[in-house]
Structures are given as C-alpha cells and as structure tokens.
C-alpha cells in the first residue's frame, strides 16, 4: 500500500513557570506530507536500518519482518527467541551492532518468559545473514525483575559512541522497585556488548547493589536516543496520569520515581512531591500525558527547520511530538499527525535522512515523513 497525505503541524512555545510546569501556547502553523510505505504490520515496535535497502521491523507478538527496497516481505525472519507476549510484553527493540558490517551481530530486546506465567526484560544477539538469525544468545536477563504483572518492561536499547550497550527496564508496575538499587527494575543499565559489566559503572564496588545499573528512579522508559553533539543518551518515559518526562541519562543519578513526579494517581490524588533534594528534575514533562514512545534526534539537511529537535512518538495523544532544546532547556514543541489519529510507536531517522515512523495497531503502518516544501 502506498499513499500520500497532507498533514497539519501545530507549533507551540514553552514557558518555564514558577512550579516548573511547561505551559504550551500555539505559535504558528505549517504543513508537510507523509507517505505510508506499507501496512499489514501487527503491533510493530521497532525499526532498524541494516543498509540503504534492507530494514527490519519487530512485531510485539514475537516476529521479525524484513523490508527490502521499501517493500515488506512475506513471511518472518527465523531464529528469533521465544518471547512472553503478555500484556505489554513481547519482542521489543532491534538494533545492529556498531560493527555490524563485519560481525553481523543483530541485537534484540524482549520480554523473556520466566516463572510460571511471567516475563522479564532481556537483551541478546544472533548472527543475521540472508534473512535468517542464527545462534541467538542472551547477554543480559533481568532475573530479579521477573514478575507476572505483564507491564512496564521498558525494552529500548542503544549503543553509544564508545560501544557501550544501554537497556531501559521499567518498574514492572511495582513502583517502589525503582528506588531499590539492588533491583534493576526501574533503571537504565549499561553493559559491554557481550553483557559484561563495565568497571566504571556508578555502583561497581558497592556491596549488594546491581552493578549493571547506570541510573534509576525511572517508571517506564520507552524512547532512547543518542544526542548528536554530546554523545550522551537521552530518554523519554511514561508517567502515570501526567508526568511523562524527557531526561538526559547520567550515571549514578536518581530520577525520582515515585518519590517525585508531576503525575497523579489514575484515580486522582498526587503520588509524591514534584521536587526534592537528591532527585533529578526532568528537562521537560508532559501533563496531561502523551504516552511518549520511540525517540530520535533530527540531524542533517532534510528538515532544516527541525535540526536538533527530539522527535518522540505519542501513543495516548496519537501524534509525532517534536521538542526543540537550547542546550538542555526546552524552547518549543511541535505536534504533527494529530489528524491521522494513530499511535506512534517508533521514530527513526534513516540513512537517507528522512524520518520513518511505526504505528501501533493490528494493521500497523510504516510511514515516511516528507519535509515541507
């Protein structure tokens, strides 16, 4: 299926108010075009570019799909590990190794079955050649995060410029776990590409702590991207009823959940304080919640007006969300694709410089965002 649709963009400016709440006000309008490259995807979760003409897409139920020359191939890639496709669990991110051209290592994060009916967040890799994945092996399994709650798995993975592997793990729906550094739930972890724990991780040498942890106090990080200038990972994460966040991921930092949050209980009352000494403030929070998902930084010349913006999928409010930063200060926000009413699950910038999106549904689409003329 191929189609071309014109969309309307709304641009907002952000005002930092006394209570650290971002106030959005309409600023101007613009237009662009989106092309649906394919549909027929079943709850797609992640997109990876192996080359200019070969891409891979994960589907949450546990299947890996191949796109060649812009066309979705029939069938699925063999060799994917068994996943716990329960609740929010399933097959998550797909990511080639930085040296993929030479070692053919393809990384997958997923909900690994554990216990009688539970799952936990895991990451591993296999050798990908000619449409087949072989010799898959786990490099990390969050054994302590095994639970049958079936939610808040996190599951985003990222390599930084030094070759370290980052993985997000949600609080598994048990919020107090995000403050327990003996437990990887509610954290971002940092590993060598083979799963070894780096000696300079912040909790190394501290007895009884989970030394894979890089940062903690996270609820459910669903987007992870490398800043193009600083080389540092940034993430977005879900709050409860409001309080979604964008954060820079720094070693040894406690991001506060659930001690501090701008979100509220789903039934109304506040959860904790909005700020407290010893807990990091988000760079930006969304209230009401947009339910942010995949995240990318826009680089290159395809979208000159959006250079350096963060592009974030939005599941609940069903749009593509772009935020401009001056350093770490948010200065403007753009909401795209609201008229399409689609849950945006993943956002990636392709090797050609264009933005590609995955929509989360039983008949999910792969979209290409064309720049405004």
Distance CA(86)–CA(156), nearest Å, equals: 17
Return the higher-pLDDT residue of 214 and 15: 214
What is the per-residue pLDDT across 105-128, written as a single tens digit (0 to 9) for each? 999 999 999 988 899 999 999 999
Q: What is the pLDDT of residue 78?
A: 97
Question: Would you kindly state where each structural domain of the chain is located, as residue ranges?
Answer: 3-370
Measured from the Cβ of residue 292, the count of other Cβ atoms closer than 10 Å reads 28
* Protein fold of 3-370: Neuraminidase (2.120.10)
Distance CA(247)–CA(245), nearest Å, equals: 6
What is the per-residue pLDDT across 166-199, written as a single tens digit (0 to 9) for each? 999 999 999 999 999 999 999 999 999 999 999 9
| Residues making up the chain, counted from first to last | 373
Rounded to two decimals, what is the model's pTM?
A: 0.93
Q: What is the pLDDT of residue 228?
A: 97
What is the per-residue pLDDT across 341-362, written as a single tens digit (0 to 9) for each? 999 999 999 999 999 999 999 9
Distance CA(313)–CA(230), nearest Å, equals: 22
Contacts of 46 (CB under 8 A, 6+ apart): 57, 58, 92, 93, 94, 95, 294, 345, 346, 358
Three-point CA angle 241, 242, 248, nearest 5°: 130
CB 109 within 8 A of CB 125: no
42 in catalytic set: no
Place of tokens 């490099």: 139
- Backbone region of residue 90 per phi and psi (left: phi > 0; alpha: psi in -120 to 50; beta: other values): left
User: Catalytic one among 43, 97, 152, 238?
Assistant: 152
Distance CA(316)–CA(343), nearest Å, equals: 7
Q: How confident is the model at residue 21 (pLDDT cuts 50, 70, 90)?
A: very low
What is the per-residue pLDDT across 142-167, written as a single tens digit (0 to 9) for each? 998 899 999 999 999 999 999 999 99
Measured from the Cβ of residue 20, the count of other Cβ atoms closer than 10 Å reads 12
CB 255 within 8 A of CB 239: no
Q: What is the pLDDT of residue 239?
A: 97
Mean of per-residue pLDDT scores for the chain: 91
Q: How confident is the model at residue 32 (pLDDT cuts 50, 70, 90)?
A: low
């Amino acid at each position: 299926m191929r189609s071309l649709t014109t969309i309307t963009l709304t641009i907002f400016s952000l005002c930092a108010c006394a209570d650290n709440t971002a106030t959005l006000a309409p600023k101007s309008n613009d237009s662009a075009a989106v092309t649906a490259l394919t549909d027929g995807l079943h709850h797609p979760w992640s997109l990876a570019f192996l080359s200019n003409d070969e891409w891979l897409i994960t589907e949450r139920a546990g299947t890996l799909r191949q796109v060649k020359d812009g066309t979705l191939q029939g069938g699925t890639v063999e060799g994917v590990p068994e996943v716990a496709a329960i609740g929010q669990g399933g097959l998550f991110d797909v990511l080639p190794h930085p040296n993929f051209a030479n070692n053919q290592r393809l990384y997958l994060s997923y909900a690994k079955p554990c216990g009688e009916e539970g799952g936990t967040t895991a990451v591993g890799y296999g050798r990908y050649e000619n449409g087949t994945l072989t010799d898959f092996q786990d490099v990390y399994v969050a054994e302590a995060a095994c639970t049958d709650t079936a939610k808040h798995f996190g599951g985003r993975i990222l390599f930084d410029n030094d070759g370290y592997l980052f993985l997000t793990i949600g609080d598994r729906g048990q919020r107090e776990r995000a403050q327990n550094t003996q437990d990887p739930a509610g954290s971002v972890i940092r590993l060598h590409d083979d799963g070894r724990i780096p000696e300079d991780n912040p909790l190394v040498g501290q007895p009884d702590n989970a030394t894979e942890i890089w940062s903690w106090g996270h609820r459910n990080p669903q987007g992870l991207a490398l800043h193009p200038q600083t080389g540092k990972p940034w993430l977005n994460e879900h709050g409860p009823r409001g309080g979604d966040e964008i954060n820079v991921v720094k070693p040894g930092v406690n991001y506060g959940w659930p001690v501090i949050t701008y979100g509220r209980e789903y039934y109304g009352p506040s959860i904790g304080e909005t700020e407290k000494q010893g807990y990091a403030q988000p760079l930006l929070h969304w209230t009401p919640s947009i339910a942010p998902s995949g995240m990318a930084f826009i680089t290159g010349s395809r979208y000159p007006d959006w250079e350096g913006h963060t592009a974030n999928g939005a599941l609940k409010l069903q749009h593509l969300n772009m935020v401009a930063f001056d350093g770490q200060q948010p200065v403007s926000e753009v909401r795209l694709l609201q008229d399409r009413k689609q849950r945006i699950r993943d956002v990636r910038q392709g090797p050609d410089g264009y933005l590609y999106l995955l929509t989360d549904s039983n008949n999910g689409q792969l979209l290409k965002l064309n720049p405004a003329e």
